[in-house]
């Protein structure tokens, strides 16, 4: 008997791969996730007053105590109608050493400032150098007063302070609070997969902020749920987002963070990030031009100092670094784990959610569980 809101597997959806104990990105030991969720007001939009349906998600790759210790990392952009700060430096050196935040499109600056303020307070020695945090976004303006400045640096700091390991909330929490996915209420979702390797078992964990896709695209384990549901005419109109915003079908964005404890170098992390679209495609999306689809992957395996040799004068800056690396001919199982975990994380974001009404009475309906069960059983 489950004590949490139903997730995809609780509806009887059969998904490939073996999940970790929590089926979450926090199955990768050391990874911590925190949320700040803002839900206030109802009725007509008044910029600066609300209604508010937004928040911030913070991901700490090595937890609070490990900030500043680099992880091998890489990113991939399927479609560039979005923002992920700090990515140019990741491209340059293949490292990530600061927390990741995810929020709404117009809150990137506030999150960037909030991370820097938080590092100054919690790890002041790190703030003596330049800081290039990763701040990513998806657009929540259908439900939220996105121009109202409700996400402040203090909200970002709250999300960072709230970060923890263990089980995670999903759905309309943190940065995913005001998001929509496949014409239903979307938002935050997570999943993981175990990958045997000799006498060791590694973990691949995924976190998704899902805000993408057209209703007719939604596919669950090969069943075109969105199309079949429309034929049955027992769901709400499929064009609510396009009608109210004059937005093209599929508009939105998706941010995906992939974590693993396997010893991958930056190029191998890039391989994981490049497999994220295959997991998204299993849920039906074809990748809209107006969807910012940005993905980041990192490995926590090595605990050594930065290989950039900075700060100059540190004891390690004249050393030759040796790094453990998975053999390339064994990487396919990690690619598959990423694909399957991404698919499930998206479905979890949909299944966990409830209907939300936001600004101007805009309504984002929950994915109807009974209908999904019926369609998948037919």
6 domain residue, yes or no: no
97 is catalytic: no
* Per-residue confidence (pLDDT) for residue 302, from 0 to 100: 85
Residue with tokens 């976004």: 137
d(CA 74, CA 58): 18
* pLDDT, mean of residues 20-39: 98
* Per-residue confidence (pLDDT) for residue 231, from 0 to 100: 57
The verdict on pTM exceeding 0.85 is yes
Q: What is the dihedral angle through the alpha carbons of 143, 147, 151, 153, rounded to the nearest 10 degrees?
A: 160
Backbone Cα Rg of the chain: 20
* Per-residue confidence (pLDDT) for residue 303, from 0 to 100: 79
49 domain residue, yes or no: yes
Measured at the CA of 174, the angle between CA 282 and CA 220, to 5 degrees, comes to 15
Burial class (CB in 10 A: 0-12, 13-18, 19+), 257: buried
d(CA 274, CA 289): 18
Active-site residue, from 253, 288, 299, 364: 253
Query: pLDDT tier at 4 (50, 70, 90 boundaries)?
Result: confident
293 is catalytic: yes
| Beta carbons of 12 and 178 less than 8 angstroms apart | no
Mean pLDDT of the chain: 92
Domain region containing 117: 17-306+325-377
61 domain residue, yes or no: yes
Residue 123 phi, psi dihedral angles, 5° rounding: -135, 65
Active-site residue, from 97, 291, 299, 364: 291
* Per-residue confidence (pLDDT) for residue 312, from 0 to 100: 47
Residue with tokens 């809150």: 107
* Per-residue confidence (pLDDT) for residue 208, from 0 to 100: 99
Q: pLDDT tens-digit profile of 200-228?
A: 999 999 999 999 999 999 999 999 999 88
- Residues ≥6 apart with Cβ < 8 Å to 367: 184, 185, 350, 351, 353
Query: pLDDT tier at 378 (50, 70, 90 boundaries)?
Result: confident
Active-site residue, from 293, 299, 302, 364: 293
Q: Tokens for 199?
A: 């006498």
* Per-residue confidence (pLDDT) for residue 310, from 0 to 100: 57
> Of 191, 229, 252, 190, which is closest to residue 369 (Cα–Cα)?
229
Residue 281 phi, psi dihedral angles, 5° rounding: -65, -30
Q: pLDDT tens-digit profile of 162-204?
A: 999 999 999 999 999 999 999 999 999 999 999 999 999 999 9
Q: How many C-beta atoms surround the C-beta of residue 124 within 10 A?
A: 9
330 pLDDT higher than 50: yes
Query: pLDDT tier at 314 (50, 70, 90 boundaries)?
Result: low
* Per-residue confidence (pLDDT) for residue 311, from 0 to 100: 57
378 is catalytic: no
| Beta carbons of 181 and 350 less than 8 angstroms apart | yes
92 pLDDT higher than 60: yes
**Furthest-apart CA atoms within the chain: distance in Å:** 68
* Per-residue confidence (pLDDT) for residue 246, from 0 to 100: 53
* Per-residue confidence (pLDDT) for residue 315, from 0 to 100: 56
* pLDDT, mean of residues 347-363: 97
* pLDDT, mean of residues 244-258: 78
CATH assignment of the domain containing 275: 3.60.70.12
235 pLDDT higher than 60: no
- Total structural domains in the chain? 1
318 domain residue, yes or no: no
* pLDDT, mean of residues 304-322: 66
41 pLDDT higher than 90: yes
> DSSP string covering 172-240, please?
SSGGGTT-EETTEE-EEEEEEEEEEETTEEEEEEEEEEEE---GGG--BTTB-HHHHHHHHT-S--TTH
* Per-residue confidence (pLDDT) for residue 245, from 0 to 100: 53
Tell which wins on pLDDT, 242 or 319: 319
d(CA 241, CA 29): 39
Maximum mean pLDDT: which of 239-248, 313-322, 324-333: 324-333
316 domain residue, yes or no: no
23 pLDDT higher than 60: yes
Q: pLDDT tens-digit profile of 99-141?
A: 999 999 999 999 999 999 999 999 999 988 899 999 999 999 9
313 pLDDT higher than 80: no
């Amino acid at each position: 008997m489950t004590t949490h809101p139903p997730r995809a597997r609780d509806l009887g959806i059969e998904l490939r791969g073996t999940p970790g104990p929590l089926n979450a990105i926090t199955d990768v030991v050391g990874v911590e996730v925190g949320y700040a969720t803002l839900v206030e007001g109802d009725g007509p939009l008044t910029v600066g007053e609300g209604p508010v349906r937004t928040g911030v998600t913070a991901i700490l790759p090595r937890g609070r105590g490990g900030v500043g210790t680099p992880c091998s990392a890489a990113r991939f952009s399927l479609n560039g109608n979005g923002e992920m700060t700090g990515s140019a430096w990741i491209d340059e050196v293949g490292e990530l050493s600061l927390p990741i935040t995810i929020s709404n499109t117009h809150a990137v600056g506030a999150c960037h400032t909030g991370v820097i303020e938080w590092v100054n307070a919690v790890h002041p020695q790190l703030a003596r150098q330049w800081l290039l945090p990763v701040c990513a976004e998806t657009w929540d303006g259908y439900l939220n007063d996105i121009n109202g400045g409700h996400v402040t640096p203090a909200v970002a700091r709250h999300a960072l302070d709230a970060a923890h390991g263990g089980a995670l909330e999903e759905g309309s929490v943190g940065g995913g609070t005001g998001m929509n996915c496949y014409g239903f209420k979307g938002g935050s979702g997570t999943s993981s997969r175990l990958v045997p390797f000799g006498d060791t078992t590694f973990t691949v964990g995924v976190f998704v902020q899902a805000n993408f896709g057209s209703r007719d695209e939604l596919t669950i384990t090969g069943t075109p749920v969105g199309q079949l549901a429309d034929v049955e005419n027992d769901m709400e109109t499929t064009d609510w987002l396009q009608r109210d915003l004059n937005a093209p079908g599929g508009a939105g964005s998706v941010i995906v963070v992939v974590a693993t404890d396997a010893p991958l170098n930056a190029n191998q992390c890039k391989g994981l990030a490049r497999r994220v679209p295959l997991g998204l495609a299993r849920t039906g999306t074809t990748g809209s031009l107006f969807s910012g689809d940005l993905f980041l992957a990192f490995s926590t395996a090595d605990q050594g100092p930065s290989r950039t040799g900075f700060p100059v004068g540190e004891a390690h800056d004249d050393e030759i670094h040796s790094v453990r690396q998975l053999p390339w001919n064994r990487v396919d199982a990690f690619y598959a784990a990423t694909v399957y975990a991404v698919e499930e994380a998206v479905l979890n974001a949909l299944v966990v959610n409830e209907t939300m009404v936001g600004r101007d009475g805009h309504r984002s309906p929950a994915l109807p569980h009974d209908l999904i069960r019926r369609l998948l059983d037919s």
